[in-house]
Amino acid sequence: MAVATERTATSIQARKGIVDCDVHPYPVSTDEIRSYLPMPWRDRFSGGGRGFFGNPVHGSRLDSTPPGGGPTGSDPGFLRKQLIDEFGIAYAILLPRAFCNVHPDPDLGTAIAAAYNDWLADTWLSKHNADGVFKGSLTVNTQDPLAAAQEIDRWGGHPHFVQVMTDSGARAPFGQRQYYPIYEACQRNNLRFAIHPGTDGMGINVQPSPGYPTHYIEWHTCLSLAFQAHLVSIITEGVFERFPGVGITLTEGGVSWLLPLMWRLDAEWKALRSEVPWLTKAPSAYLRDHVRLSSQPLENPDNSRHLLQMLEMMDAGHVLMFASDYPHWDFDSPTHAFPKLSADLHERIFSATAREWYGLPTPDTTA
């Protein structure tokens, strides 16, 4: 990420404070996205979310509706007041929710992804970003990896896009070779690759559990299943050996499952290494160089010491990055989501690790 560091350091002044690795900006309306779509897609795009498994209570914080109107997360001024200023956020990593990979028609999905990228670049990353607090994620349609790679190349060198993102919903695990063009493009353009929950079992995507669960509580709890399957696939298929510059951001996929899964995978590898001979080290040894997890929704056992032990065991000081998921209902407050951490670990999780990962300037402490 050396190139990105130089690029951003010269364009904006280093900001002190928290890096929030999962913030969701929304268009003011479906028509706003439609205005970035060429025909025939403009007429085909109807907006909409994932279709079902909607939260039965509320999907966004009830107090996040902008006073001036519009959907939650659609007013940059109000988001700044309620998140950036309230908690002292230095950088917010923006992840739009396009749900573009549910469509049977890959060209429609690719057009939607491009429209979201044009919209984000035009609004949150420029008009509303004079201070550079907003960093963007490029939406790509993973159903068409070649088109996704072209979309990534279209934005290479943009000062505020720091990663490529996809929903976790897929038709095949992300380590498989059909996705190589995406990883090549990420490596070529010095961008991380983020996976965020969504579209599991929706449209043409596979549900990563035995069939469809009945309730939202089941579906939402089991979102981490897809993340586990994707991570095991990416490591064992040798993505990090083939593309040593690739880094995976596992966003909102859960935290505390990581270590037991790695213990299991390492144990399997001792016996089954011959099946995946391209791995040059134990699977868990790839994490520190190639994988980061965002913290929200952080599991919180009744005894917070147990969580602290888990953080220590999983090397949280190097792989975990704070995220709030604003404005969604399961928002984690920067001041209340974690038990008390040591000053060093707090600095790593809330700021330093993400700055290193995304090449964001470190605050000048001598100023």
Partner 1 sequence: MGRHIIGKVGEVPPGERRIVEAEGRSIGVFNVHGSFFALRNSCPHQAAPLCLGSIKGMTMPSRPGEYIWARDGEILRCPWHGWEFDITTGRSIFNPHRTRVKVYDVTIEQRLDGDLPDEEDPSVETFPVSIEDGWIVLHL
Residue 353 structure tokens = 């690790």
DSSP character at residue 81 = I
Residue numbers of the site for partner 1 (CB under 8 A)? 55, 57-58, 61-63, 329-333, 335-337
| Closer residue to partner 1 (CB): 20 or 144 | 20
The H or E element that residue 138 is part of is: strand 134-139
Three-class SS state of 260: helix
CB of 334 to partner 1, least distance (A): 10
Pick between residue 305 and residue 336 the one whose CB is nearest to partner 1.
336
**CA–CA gap between residue 294 and residue 319 (Å, rounded):** 8
- Whichever of 113 and 298 has its CB closer to partner 1, that residue is 298
> Which CA distances in Å does 183 have to 50, 188, 209, 241, 247?
26, 8, 26, 12, 9
**Residue 333 CB, nearest approach to partner 1 (Å):** 4
The distance of closest approach from Cβ of residue 74 to partner 1 in the complex, given in angstroms and rounded to an integer, is 18
Q: Which is nearer to partner 1, 206 or 337 (CB)?
A: 337
Least Å from the CB of residue 57 to partner 1: 4
- Least separation in angstroms between CB 336 and partner 1: 4
Q: How far is the CB of 79 from partner 1 (least distance, A)?
A: 15
Residue 60: what residue type?
S
Question: 360: which 2 tokens?
Answer: 């964001």
> Please, which residue, 40 or 59, has the CB nearer to partner 1?
59
- First vs last C-alpha separation in the chain: 25
Q: What angle do CA 122, 162, 148 make, to 5 degrees?
A: 80
CB of 17 to partner 1, least distance (A): 19
* Shortest reach from residue 309's CB to partner 1, in Å: 22
Cis peptide before 56 (omega within 30 of 0): no
CA–CA separation, 261 and 80 (whole Å): 37
Output 58 or 81, the one with its CB closest to partner 1.
58
Which residues are within 8 A (CB) of 293 and not within 5 positions of it... i.e. 6 or more apart? 249, 250, 251, 253, 254, 255, 258, 319, 320, 321
Identify the sign of the CA torsion 200, 203, 206, 211.
Answer: positive
By C-beta, is 145 or 197 nearer to partner 1? 197
Calculate the alpha carbon distances from 353 to 7, 30, 96, 200, 320 in Å.
18, 35, 22, 29, 7
Q: How far is the CB of 337 from partner 1 (least distance, A)?
A: 6
Nearer to partner 1, 3 or 62 (CB): 62
Tokens encoding 46: 């109807």
Shorter beta-carbon distance to partner 1: residue 61 or 154: 61
Query: Can you tell me the distance from the alpha carbon of 25 to that of 274, in angstroms, rounded to the nearest whole number?
Result: 45
Tally Cβ neighbours within 10 Å of residue 319: 22
H-helix or E-strand spanning residue 151: helix 145-155
